[in-house]
Amino acid sequence: MAHRFMAVDIGNSAWKFGFFDLPALSALGSRYPYPIDDRRDTDETFPNLTAWLDGLLRHGRDEKLNWAVAGVNRRRVTSFLDWLSARRPNDGVIQIKTADVPMVNRYDQPDRLGVDRLLGALAAWRMVSRAVMVVDIGTASKIDWVDSDGAFRGGAIFPGPQTAAGSLGEKTDLLPQVNLDGSARWPAANTVDGILCGIHAAQIGAVSYCYRAARAKFDAQPPVILTGGGARNLEEELAGLIPGPVQTTRDLVLSGIFLTFLALNSTSH
């Protein structure tokens, strides 16, 4: 087995690549985020990926890699696997599906659970080894609960900040598209600030609600682990609202992919 490993997380808004040295998960290696662009074919989507890989490989372009690919966009996953097969035919490649993740899954329809949610839950559980709330702020924001036995119990799904902003701009006559880099201020004295404030409040409010519900239902005061593109905007404020510890982990799903790869490899020998 090759001793260099690449995890690939294919989302609805971006591709993320995490480079690891086997066998220990100490920290993420170099990370290569790439935005989705539907205007280009997959062959043209990664003009810099080959050069990036060349800079990471110790023994040149022919060094063998292990790859594990997971994603919530099936078309893009298939396209990337085809691209990878054509570019690096000697590498080991697996596609991780929900059933592969080494975690008890108590979702009503386990095969309908997005693999990214279970991968993030696995990585969070391994970090704290106790009941934990996992908050992923992305195209769709997800708030998931892992119980004290390490089982995935489900959660909530709602529009992420960019999705909410885009929907307001598209579905209304007078509300503009906004740049989410701005700060949220309340009370907002103009429309743009009002949209920013409302979107931010919706994310914070959803997490706060789910946390209170978890405390009431499970009699727990769990840590909250934030991840996803919008996580950095929530950590400080949530820390003042939630009694449990709050921390941001940038690439939780990539870590979950790596942990799953290690589990699959250990069971195959």
CA 195-200-203 angle, 5° bins? 130
Question: Cα separation of 211 and 244, whole Å?
Answer: 9
Question: Cα separation of 42 and 63, whole Å?
Answer: 23
| Active-site pick, 21, 41, 62, 116 | 116
- Residue owning tokens 């570019």: 87
- Residue owning tokens 């489900």: 154
Q: What is the DSSP letter of 233?
A: G
| CB within 8 Å of 221: residues ≥ 6 apart | 215, 243, 244
Q: Is 116 noted as a catalytic residue in this protein? A: yes
Q: Which H or E element spans position 166?
A: helix 161-171
> Residues with catalytic annotation?
116
